[in-house]
Structure 1
Amino acid sequence: MLQTFLLQSTTDLHRFIDTYRQRSQGIRVDPEFLKHTTVRVFQDSDQPGEWTAGYFVNARPPHRYFDVLPAAIKAQMLEDSQIREEDVAEIGAIWMDVKALGRLGRWQVYLFMLADAYATNQPFIVGGTVHAQIRDFQMQVVKHPLFEGEVELAGQVQRIWEYYANREEMWFDFLNFTVPEMRRHVSRDTISLRPAPYRQSA
């Protein structure tokens, strides 16, 4: 069964940073930045200590997705979208062991992502990626384009896509996407969903 908990200790946060850096081709996250965010990881109950997924939710400036953009482009982007930076929660540093999680595990991780972002009470939820396939998947829910272009990440120029959802609409879009998927891929006779346990790290 999939378990989840929040990270608070310096040791755990550095492990999260190292894990994400290895899985993202060298993209780094500042440990001081993470101290002001919600950082969540997941593990299988049969393999405690072996993390299978993680992410952070940041509900206050500075936002990592915005800081990679030139100031003028960022200002114009927010103005065009009628978004104030103070009204944004971003979901970032997402990594998953897709094979270990399976399809249901991935849905659970995305469910917690949205729940953590929703709990910030910010009206806009922002996500992004450098992978077109992940973009297409995530934009089934976080569906409004925000930025597409080349930026410098981990010492190299990469194309990035950023997008956002309105807080009021994202649950409808999540269910609208996942329920048909579950009907196609999950047998009621072979699987049951249980709430994932929750704890905070020491």
Structure 2
Amino acid sequence: MKKIMEKAPGKREARKEERREAILEIAKREFLDHGYSGASMSAISAELGGSKGTLWSYFPSKEELFAAVLDHATREYRSRLADVLKPGEDLRAAVLQFCRSFIAKISSPDGVRLHRLIASEVGRFPEVGDIFYRRAPQPTQQLLADFFERAMDAGTLRREDPLFAARVLTSLCLGVQQRVMWGQEWPAAERDSEAAQVAEVFLRAFAPE
């Protein structure tokens, strides 16, 4: 009996986590298809099945659900990025790999749809921009800043505010990504070539004096 009682909570937690994952997948489609303002908690609940109370018990508000969707959508990428920017990694190789992976991420169909969603909604719903910034750009920039600070300490980058350097690099990547925001074609080979150019521009700008 004791063994059964020990296993039961684990199973309940697993089912609870599966339910949460299902909510996030449905909510992601709802937000991307209808925008933040058009997304309906009722529609998400209906697709999920069960009562509305089930959805509200996991996420008491649309804001919290949107934040959780962003965390879920960027969790795997942040993990990969932490591996790229690990201590001791070659600076040039890490910067190049970051540019390639970051540009690929923000140029993906879901990445483009998300950026368009934020741009179209933030004027009416400032909280959307705040939630997005704290869940996506800010953690990415902080990971970069920590990596750049170590590089500056080692003398492989010139001394500068590491967070400023991180913002410069992400801004350069966003700049070359703009074409897909407006529906232009961007072949993968050309995208990788421009990622390499962005990395080179950054490394020259922040080369040790």
With normalisation by structure 2, the TM-score equals 0.29
- Bigger radius of gyration among the two: 2
Q: What TM-score, normalized to structure 1?
A: 0.29
Query: As a proportion of its length, which structure holds more strand?
Result: 1
Which one has the bigger helix percentage? Answer: 2
